[in-house]
Amino acid sequence: MSTTDIDTEEVRGPFAWFHTLGRNGKRAFVGAFGGFGLDAYDFQVLPLGLFAITAYFGITQGQAGLLNTVTLVVSALGGAIAGIFADRIGRVRTLMITVITYAVFTVLCGFATSYETLLVFRALQGLGFGGEWAAGAILVAEYCKPQYRGRTVAFIQSSWAVGWGLSVIVYTVVFSFLPQDIAWRVLFWTGAIPAVLVFYIRRNVKDAPKAETALKSSPRKGNFKAVFAGKLGRTTLFAALLATGVQGGYYTLASWVPTFLKTERGLSVVGTGGYLALLITGAFAGYVTGGYLTDRLGRKRTFTLFAVLSAILLVLFTQIPAGANWLILLVTFPLGFTSSAIFSGFGAFLAELYPTELRGTGQGFTYNFGRAVGAFFPALVGFLAESTGVGGAMIVGAIAYGIAVLALLGLPETKGAVLT
């Protein structure tokens, strides 16, 4: 038996999902895990430095929220383009292009001389940010055994918490030792780290055999119109709506929690870092646990469970009375858990909804359409915060989770599906 073809029946234990990937699948896993984790790192440096950036350029909270929104809106374009590229030039080559793109423009953000310049660089960073997940998640999903696909791709999703955690550590160190006027720039400059990963991907990672075959032989590979035709059109509509709700809720949290903790809870840099560490620990546990649940309970039940819990916990987190920060501490871990666990099923679910020759296009569009529309939730928080405060405005995130639950009514259950 070769190291690339392992019989599922011969592998047992909690890490059978990893062993059954085979040699090439494991290498693909490492590349996709690193790519998405560093994607998270480069995204999170903005929310972490947002307080300092707002003060440096003298902008309003609405303008600050727009920095995140433009990233996510442009990421929809990046995701759609990367999805088509993944179907036409391959998953691995697309992955490398997206990593280089988000790394370069993150670094350039640190050289911005005005708010407008920063807005442009951040928008261009969104091209790579949106495309990376589409290529990496599909790459790994196509190596997975059907019964392990949910948890395997969920572990890729868990790398977001790793990248987020790394960004908080760097943020805490940089802002503790440097004046905030230069600290936010240094934070962006550290976004060059992901470029190193490209060397590993280029030398070690290959597309799955079925994807390579489709790349060479299918006449409709990367056909954007095809994902809106016939039954696939309905699937694309509701999958995009699901992605909108889940990401609208999540990006409300990711974009505004650091500012909320500083401005309305009066926490220092170190204090904010402590709360974020708890939120991120919960996120990592949620990603991993959600992956196992999506294989056991099914994709739709898992999405519904965590959407409802996330909405409830978001309301509790933001509405706890002033002076009761210890209560926020109690809610922080479970909020991080549920708001991240809901993402665990995305990679497997979207991959199972589309055939191989259209998988990149369908998954890239739906997930990143959700990012683009969901991006307006953080912007809405920024504008509402002028009158209601950040905590009150963040309630719109709970509404987003309600949209996700409604979208599931139009989608099929795909647990155990064999990729076609």
CATH number of 18-196+226-410: 1.20.1250.20
Please compute the mean of the pLDDT values over residues 75-82 and round it to a whole number: 86
CA proximity to 245, closest of 411, 403, 76? 403
Q: Is the pLDDT of residue 9 over 70?
A: no
pLDDT at 265: 55
Kindly give, in sequence order, each residue whose CB lies less than 8 Å from that of residue 142, ignoring residues fewer than 6 positions away: 91, 207, 208, 210, 211, 351, 356, 359, 419
Q: Is the pLDDT of residue 4 over 50?
A: no
pLDDT at 108: 96
Classify residue 58 by its DSSP letter. Answer: T
Coil, strand, or helix at residue 8?
A: helix
Q: Is the pLDDT of residue 416 over 90?
A: no
CA proximity to 383, closest of 118, 63, 116? 63
Q: What is the mean pLDDT of the chain?
A: 84
Q: What backbone phi and psi angles, to 5 degrees, belong to 20?
A: -75, -5
Q: Is the pLDDT of residue 3 over 50?
A: no
Q: Is the pLDDT of residue 120 over 90?
A: yes
Q: Is 22 left (phi over 0), alpha (psi -120 to 50) or beta?
A: left
The one-letter amino acid at 63: Q
pLDDT at 1: 34
Q: What angle do CA 50, 122, 108 make, to 5 degrees?
A: 95
Question: Which one has a higher pLDDT value, 278 or 44?
Answer: 44
CA proximity to 355, closest of 176, 196, 218? 218
Other CB atoms within 10 Å distance of the CB of residue 231: 8
Q: Confirm if 283 and 161 have CB atoms less than 8 A apart.
A: yes
| Three-state secondary structure string covering 301-356 | HHHHHHHHHHHHHHHHHHHCCCCCHHHHHHHHHHHHHHHHHCCCCHHHHHHHHCCH
Q: Confirm if 124 and 104 have CB atoms less than 8 A apart.
A: no
pLDDT at 261: 67
| pLDDT tens digits for range 205-256 | 898 887 777 777 766 666 788 899 888 999 999 999 999 999 998 878 776 6
| pLDDT tens digits for range 168-195 | 889 989 999 999 999 999 999 998 888 7
Taking the C-alpha atoms of residue 141 and residue 136, their distance in angstroms, rounded to an integer, is 9
Q: Confirm if 99 and 195 have CB atoms less than 8 A apart.
A: yes
CA proximity to 249, closest of 373, 156, 64, 334? 373
pLDDT at 412: 93
The one-letter amino acid at 393: A
Please compute the mean of the pLDDT values over residues 333-346 and round it to a whole number: 88
Instruction: Give the orientation angle of helix 149-177 with respect to helix 115-141, to 10 degrees.
Output: 150
Please compute the mean of the pLDDT values over residues 288-293 and round it to a whole number: 90
